[in-house]
Structure 1
Amino acid sequence: MTKIAAIQMVSSPDIERNLARARHWLGEARAQGAELAALPEYFCLMGRADTDKLAVAEAPGDGPIQRMLAESARELGLWIIGGTLPIRDGAGEKVRNSCCVFAPDGSQAARYDKIHLFRYDNGREHYDEGRVLEAGSTPVTVQAAGGARVGLSVCYDLRFPELYRAGPPCELLSVPAAFTYTTGKAHWELLLRARAIENQAYVIAPAQGGQHENGRRTWGHTMIVDPWGEVLGCLPEGEGLVTATLDTARLAQVREQLPALQHRRL
């Protein structure tokens, strides 16, 4: 059994402040016995404009955001799923929205670049990540705490179930997010529980949750869901964390009593 923690933040345009708050909550997760902790999407920066992330984008493996994650993992002896940060990987103007995973020795164990880019317009709210982001193309899994295989994804990826079956079955699916209040209220929990049920896996979903200095409001409701779709913990709004135990016996029980993964035909 492995204790895991999902951290909720209300990040600001101030990177140093955000990193300090992230480090605080990672420490709290470890103090509560977590072996793996996950941060939300854009834990490091919720800028006043989409283009703000271009100015702070880091090169792969280098920069203050990645150093904080690596140092925290090493100092705390903790697996860290580092939410997302902007990575400039190439000569183009756009950047990747990247989730970097760090092992307890401080080494980077994996990096996933968000594949599906969010676009939404209901006449009042307008978002188009493709203006500044370049989409990734490769699904990524990593073997992490307790030997669990973790499938990496980010926010809007949650709406594309085929991503979560692109490789071998995972014990844990990670979904760091910054869902809008509007779409989160309608779909967040529904989609998380669906992904958990259909993949018979735990889901860890750390989120941005509250009113941000840039005027944006995010849905929050950071949660951890078990393979039967039961919500094991949820934080509706504000900074904090939720913890749960990834129980391999529970996972095996669900997969044995309803062997849906063995029944797949497509």
Structure 2
Amino acid sequence: MEPLKITIFQAYLFWENVDKNLQNLGLRLSSLREKTDLILLPEMFNTGFTTNVEKCAETMSGKTMHWLYDMSKQFDCVMAGSLIIEEEGKYYNRFIWMSPDGSFVHYDKRHLFSLGGENEKFTAGNSRIIFPLKGWKICPMICYDLRFPAWSRNQQGAYDLLVYTSSWPDKRSAHWRALIPARAIENQAYVIGVNRVGHDGKEVYYSGGSMCISPNGDVVYYKPEDEDLYTFTLNPKELEENRERFPFLEDQDQFNIL
């Protein structure tokens, strides 16, 4: 494993306005002056969190996929975040992992937010996926997945970094601040939650709070309230030393979800 440089973009999003969001995100990203390996964007970064699939869904060959490729190629790094994808008459909240060569893989959100009607419009994913990058094993999740620890359980050290791309409202920010460190400690992995800021079209307020927590529960990065574009480096040494000193993963219960 090599040191991994990650850029979190805690962005203000314009409600259901793909063109304006992509323009704004691209403009802000143009201020990056240092090389990074991975740029993480919030959940539904091109529209804000919405169930208006008829207006906002795209295909896997749509403009946002092309934008992700252009940005990935421009910054020579992986671009990652979720958007609404229509495929064979079904809609998915899909996390895209776009590489500079134009290749990509994806994860479909497993736990759909029934309180917001997401389960009525979207189809849930049924499998996890691990993305490799510079020797790291990275597991993507989407927002509401954070509340379900069995789904993110790090069995047999399946991953080193757990990522939640999110639209987590301020009214439940205390849960966000508690659950992300819990996932890091219990899974002996780095955990990143990238959130958005501002109000959406339903006057729901998002206060950011994007963070990175170490396997020991230490805060690597935390930013409430304001839009922020921040780059930091994760060193594998702390991860390896934590797992060697406290081999808790060896004692975990073994089970299958699906």
Structure 1-normalised TM-score?
0.88
Q: Which amino acid in structure 1 is aligned with residue 34 of structure 2?
A: Q
Change (3 A) 1:229 1:242: farther
In the TM superposition, what whole-angstrom CA distance separates every residue of 1:166-189 from its partner, at most 9, and x where no partner exists? 7652111110000111112x2001
Q: Does 1:178 align with 2:167?
A: yes
Which ranges of structure 1 fall in alignment gaps of 5 or more residues?
121-126
CA distance in 2, matches of 1:193, 1:28: 30
Instruction: Flag as ranges the 4+ runs of structure 1 deviating above 6 A.
Output: none
Cα-to-partner distance string for 1:24-44 (whole Å, 9 max, x where unaligned): 344445x23321110000110
Contact 1:175 1:206 in 2 (8 A): yes
Q: CA deviation at 1:257?
A: 0.9
TM-score, length-normalised on structure 2?
A: 0.90
Q: SS of the residue aligned with 1:139?
A: coil
Q: Secondary structure at the match of 1:220?
A: strand
Paired residues of 2:207 and 2:226 also in contact (CA < 8 A): no
Corresponding position of 2:89:
91
For structure 2, the residue ranges without an aligned partner over 5 or more in a row are none
Could you tell me how far 1:213 is from its partner in structure 2? 4.9
Partner of 1:78: 77
Contact 1:117 / 1:156 at 8 angstroms: preserved in 2? yes
The answer to whether the Cα contact below 8 Å between 1:10 and 1:212 also exists between their aligned partners in 2 is: no
Matched AA of 2:97: V
Report the Cα distance in structure 2 between the residues aligned to 1:45 and 1:259, rounded to whole angstroms. Answer: 42
Q: Partner letter of residue 59 of structure 2? A: A
Q: Is the 8 A contact 1:222 1:234 kept in 2?
A: yes
For 2:30 and 2:247, the matched residues in 1 are separated by 38
- Aligned residue for 1:16? 19
Q: Kindly indicate whether the alpha-carbon contact (under 8 Å) linking 1:54 and 1:86 is maintained by their aligned counterparts in 2.
A: no
Q: Of residues 202, 220, 225 in structure 1, which corresponds to 2:208?
A: 220
What's the offset of the Cα at 1:204? 1.7
Contact 2:35 2:75 in 1 (8 A): no
Partner residue, 2:107: 112
Within a 5 Å distance, the mapping from 1:180-199 to structure 2 comes to 180-184=169-173, 186-199=174-187
- Please give the alpha-carbon distance, in whole angstroms, between the structure 1 residues aligned to 2:87 and 2:164: 22
CA RMSD, aligned part only? 1.8
